Chains A and B, each alone.
Chain A
Amino acid sequence: MEKWRFIDFGIVDIRDMMAMDEAILKAGEENTFFFWTPKKSIILGFFQKANIELDLAQCKDYTITRRISGGGIAFSDDRCRQINYGVVGTIDNELFPMDIVESYKQICGVLIDTLRHYNLNAAFRPINDVVVDNRKISGNAQTRWEGKLLQNGTLLLDFDIEEMLRISNIPKEKFMDKKIASVREGLTWLDRELGEQRDMIEIQNVMKQKFEDRFHVHLRSGSLTGKETEFTNSLLPRYYSNEWVYR
């Protein structure tokens, strides 16, 4: 069976992680599946503007950076109950389809299989969401580079709606209860769906297993290569710079 690389980065600074993310895509030489756990942070989508999306005065204790793929904000509170994953793969039109939405669907299938393992009614909602009973539980973002794709995504185990609204650039005085209710309607998380807290490592292991089953590969633990580390280091100044984050 073909062997692909697996890396668990553990708890990381999101700026370091986004640099490693880009390095795996651009300097890596093998298909890779990886996890990380962000500290309190906000990742802007490539086309977003920080001052438009965020109430910056409320974000002072957050690490903010930007990723190279589009889509919306990835917000991580200090509960750390969120599984973040990345996939880098060569677009072969088989395991990783050329068609963008089809390739989202394929990778999101790993999340759907994981949620179904817990008997949840999970489905793909084009373009890039996974839903349980029509509520979003996972957001995903993809970019492509020289015949390869990079997909990042998050599986919510818990989520602090009030905190998310607090840092968002929305009028706070009015209808706060209504806004919370509306987010609760459209979004969900695993702890809420299961009515209990499952161990995060256990869920990650189910995901790994579902990934192996779906792609018919064996995941072998590894780490960044020298080339990837060197490339990461060359990218770090950008991910730490105000020019990149607040452009």
Chain B
Amino acid sequence: MIRNQQGIHKSKGGLIRSFVSAENGKIKEISISGDFFLFPEEAFFKIARELNGIEAKREKVQQKIEEIYKRENIQSPGTLPADFTESIMKALEE
């Protein structure tokens, strides 16, 4: 089954909008946008890229985002990895 719904979640740092489709329990297409802040900006694209293909489960998504945050030294004032996870899970649960 392919789903592609918008998941909107507001963190203290801004609004996160995710469009996610899953197929056979795995994330197939994902796009994240919004008015949050994240440094370094270029590292942001790695989140969607690396979530592609992973299991569409909250803990797997959260784990992957945390790993990217650590590796890329990401700072996002007012927005936590859990906020991105929430937006993505909302899109998946729609």
Residues of A within 8 A of B (CB): 45-49, 52, 68-73, 100-101, 126-128, 141-144
Contacts and interface: CB of A to CB of B under 8 A. Distances in A.
A127 B41 CA distance: 17
A52 B77 CA distance: 23
Contacts of A49: 17, 31, 33
Nearest to A145: B40
A-B residue pairs, 5 tightest by C-beta:
A72-B35, A70-B37, A49-B33, A127-B78, A100-B77
A142 B78 CA distance: 14
A68 B44 CA distance: 12
How large, as a class, is the contact surface on chain B?
10 to 19
Interface in B16-68: 17, 31-41, 44
B41 A69 contact: yes
B75 to A, nearest CB: 6
A104 to B, nearest CB: 8
Among A68, A69, A70, A101, max chain B CB count under 10 A is at A70
A55 B49 CA distance: 28
29 contacts: A45-B35, A46-B41, A47-B32, A47-B35, A47-B44, A49-B17, A49-B31, A52-B17, A52-B33, A68-B41, A69-B37, A69-B41, A70-B14, A70-B35, A70-B37, A70-B41, A71-B14, A71-B36, A72-B14, A72-B35, A100-B39, A100-B75, A100-B77, A126-B78, A127-B77, A127-B78, A128-B37, A144-B39, A144-B40
A127 B12 contact: yes
A100 B75 CA distance: 9
B13 A127 contact: yes
A225 to B, nearest CB: 25
Contacts of B44: 46-47
Interface of B: 12-14, 17, 31-41, 44, 75, 77-78
A47 B39 CA distance: 11
Nearest to A139: B35
Contacts of A73: 35
Nearest to A46: B41
A135 B35 CA distance: 19
A62 to B, nearest CB: 18
B34 A47 contact: yes
B65 to A, nearest CB: 15
A220 B44 CA distance: 37
A73 B35 CA distance: 8
A12 to B, nearest CB: 23
